[in-house]
Every structure is written in C-alpha cells, then in structure tokens.
Amino acid sequence: MQFIAESFTISVLGGLLGIAFGLILSEVIGFYSGWAVSWSITAILLSLSICKAVGIGFGVYPAIKASQLNPIDALHSD
C-alpha cells in the first residue's frame, strides 16, 4: 500500500503543479500577446485523471514485486 500511496501522491502533486504552471503560463502569454485565454475544465480534469492513472499503474508493479520478497532478503540487497 505504501508504494501505491506514494506514487499516487507524487503523480497527483505533479499533475496539480503542471496544471498550475500551464494556467499561469497561458495567462502570461495571453497577456503579452493580447490573445484571449480560455480554459476547459474537461481538459484539466482529464489530465489530472491521466496523472492519477499513471501513478497508480506505476505504483502497482513495485508493490507487487515488493510483496513477493522475503523481508530479510529485501533489506540485505538494499
């Protein structure tokens, strides 16, 4: 559960930072270029959903591998 929780948290935080950076950058570019900027809540939610799916997907594999290890062997090889 720890691997999944960590990967989910990191991916969601990364997604939120990416969305914030994209929104700020689009406003700056729109301000200096004189273009109108509009945001799609659907695109924002879709990108956050993809970030969550990738985080869960890449958290499940190491979690399965870690659950199959003997704790003594895992600590010895670390």
Across the chain, mean pLDDT equals 88
Inter-axis angle of helices 2-33 and 41-67, nearest 10: 150
pLDDT of residue 29: 95
Please compute the mean of the pLDDT values over residues 47-63 and round it to a whole number.
Answer: 87
How many Cβ atoms are within 10 Å of 68's Cβ, its own excluded?
Answer: 8
Residue 73 has pLDDT above 80, yes or no: no
Please compute the mean of the pLDDT values over residues 12-23 and round it to a whole number.
Answer: 94
Q: In 1-78, at which residue ranges do the beta strands (DSSP E only) sit?
A: none
Rounded Cα–Cα distance for residues 54 and 32 (Å): 34
Please compute the mean of the pLDDT values over residues 57-72 and round it to a whole number.
Answer: 83
Tokens of 25: 């950058």
